[in-house]
Amino acid sequence: MSMGRKLRDRIVLTGLAHVMAAHSPLSARLAEEAGFDGIWASGFELSALYCLADVSLISMSQHLDMVRAMADSSSLPIIADIDTGFDNAINVMHAVRQYERAGAAAVVNEDKCFPKVTSLVEAGRQELVTTEEFVGKIEPAIATRSCPDFMIIARTEALIADQGEAEALKRAYAYEAAGADMILIHSKQKTADEVGSFVRAWVGEKPIVIVPTAYPEMNEMRIRQSGKIAIVIYGNHAIRAAVTAMQEVFARIVKDRGLHNINRDIVPVDEIFRLQGMGSIKENEMRFLPGS
């Protein structure tokens, strides 16, 4: 079964797929073990992993390599964040081909200018391409995919760019008409009002995707009530969890001048061996290495 089909089936089965950001094969595996329906191959997280701002500095090959590695470490469908599609329609077509081959289930392409600026930063320079130009990226993306289940999700940043709900709706309808499988609407407002209003006003046929980082009070119970949202993406919680954990543990080791206190509060090395698949390495050694 294709990964696109797997994601679509998951949505039908659950009514709302919950998808966790990941920036590494390890975080993808942990998201799967925790029970998420999919992986968000987040550009923000991968940029942060390299200590870089999320402003189109990470190349497509860097991101694609990570998607491949995550697809190897987890069986969950991956929604790949391809930002602005790495420039024009030709770049988008190349990206769709590559990400589909890499085993992704979907790509999310956003209507900002390349190079983009991360969405949630205070006073960020948010510039959108015209609706026509972005429709000119969605249509070739749809034409390029080899399997119709591979999803092309169109993301409008109209609310992020303070262009208002009417503009966001106008763009979303145009992207739907261009063939997008879903519409991702992003908002940086600290409450769910802006996104809630957009969702109520939306009368399109395609489902909506949200990323409620800025308005965390919109939990899955509330999201389901809308009846129009198919996917919720937890956009940066893997990297934030990793930073929280490392900051706390590193500070305690420095304070204690040793490992004597922290050791009981972090996972044992055996847990890392488990995640690395050390058990099967040992079995294979017994089986195939003479004298083991």
Instruction: Please give the residue ranges that form the binding site for Mg ion (CB under 5 A).
Output: 43-44, 81
Q: Does 229 bind ligand SPV (CB under 6 A)?
A: no
Q: Minimal distance in Å, beta carbon 289 to Mg ion?
A: 44
Please state, in angstroms and as integers, the Cα–Cα distance from residue 81 to each residue in 95, 168, 275, following that order. 11, 20, 25
CB of 257 to ligand SPV, least distance (A): 37
Closest distance to ligand SPV from the beta carbon of 120 (Å) = 5
Residue 195 binding: pick among Mg ion, ligand SPV, none (C-beta 5-8 Å cut-off by kind):
none
What is the DSSP code (8-state) at residue 106? E
Cβ atoms of 194 and 159 within 8 Å: the answer is: yes
Nearest to 150 by CA among 109, 210, 203, 204: 109
**8 Å CB contact between 131 and 140:** no
Reduce the secondary structure of 226-244 to three states and give it as a string.
HCCEEEEEECCHHHHHHHH
Q: Which is nearer to ligand SPV, 207 or 212 (CB)?
A: 212
* Contact status: 192 vs ligand SPV (CB under 6 A): no
Choice among 54, 83, 149, 181 that is catalytic: 54
State yes or no: residue 235 binds ligand SPV (CB under 6 A).
Answer: yes
Does 150 sit near ligand SPV (CB under 6 A)? Answer: no
* Among ligand SPV, Mg ion, none, partner that 21 touches (CB below 5 to 8 angstroms by kind): ligand SPV
Residue 232's nearest CA partner among 223, 243, 242, 244 is 223
Q: How many CB atoms lie within 10 A of CB 72?
A: 12
Residue 104, classified by CB atoms within 10 Å of its CB into exposed (0-12), middle (13-18) or buried (19+), is buried
Contact 230, 202 (CB under 8 A): no
In 178-217, which ranges are continuous DSSP H helix?
A: 193-201
Dist. CA 141–CA 92, nearest whole Å: 6
Of the pair 3, 46, the CB lying nearest ligand SPV is at 46
We find the least distance from the C-beta atom of residue 140 to ligand SPV, in angstroms, to be: 22
Among 53, 69, 113, 120, contact with ligand SPV (rule: CB under 6 A): 120
Task: Tell me if 84 contacts ligand SPV by CB under 6 A.
Answer: no
Among 95, 236, 237, 242, binds ligand SPV (CB under 6 A): 236
Q: Which is nearer to ligand SPV, 54 or 176 (CB)?
A: 54
> Does the footprint of ligand SPV cover residue 81 (CB under 6 A)?
yes
The set of catalytic residues is 54
Residues that bind ligand SPV (CB under 6 A): 21, 42-45, 54, 81, 118-120, 186, 211, 213, 235-236
